[in-house]
Amino acid sequence: MSQKNGHKKGDQAFRMQSPNERWHEMTYGGALSFLRRKYSRDLSGVDVAVSGVPYDCAVTYRPGARLGPRAIRQASVQLAELKAFPFGFDPFDTLSVIDFGDCHLDPHYPQSIIKTITDHADRIISTDTKMLTFGGDHFVAYPLIKAHAKKYGPVALIQFDAHCDTWPDEGPDEALVSGQALDHGTMFARGVDEGIIDVSKSTQIGLRTYNDTDYGFEILSAPWVHRNGVDETLKVIKQRAGDAPVYISFDIDCLDPAFAPGTGTPVTGGLASWQALELIRGLGELNLIGMDLVEVSPPYDHAEITALAAAHIAHDWLCLLAVKKGAKLKPVGRL
Domain assignments of the chain as residue spans, ordered by start? 30-324
Please name the residues in contact with 332: beta carbons below 8 A apart, sequence gap of 6 or more.
Answer: 88
- Per-residue pLDDT at 325 exceeds 60: yes
pLDDT of residue 282: 98
Other CB atoms closer than 10 Å to residue 307's CB: what's the count? 26
pLDDT in tens, 157-181: 999 999 999 988 766 555 554 456 7
Predicted model pTM: 0.94
pLDDT in tens, 11-63: 888 888 888 888 888 888 888 999 999 999 999 999 999 999 999 999 999 99
Helix (H, G, I), strand (E, B) or coil at 25: coil
Dist. CA 86–CA 315, nearest whole Å: 11
Please state the CATH superfamily assignment of the domain spanning residues 30-324 in this structure.
Ureohydrolase domain (3.40.800.10)
Strand order in the sheet with 48-53: 97-102, 48-53, 130-135, 287-294, 245-251, 156-160, 203-205, 218-220
pLDDT of residue 169: 76
The candidate with the shortest Cα–Cα distance to 122, out of 98, 105, 103, 97, is 103
Dist. CA 145–CA 129, nearest whole Å: 15
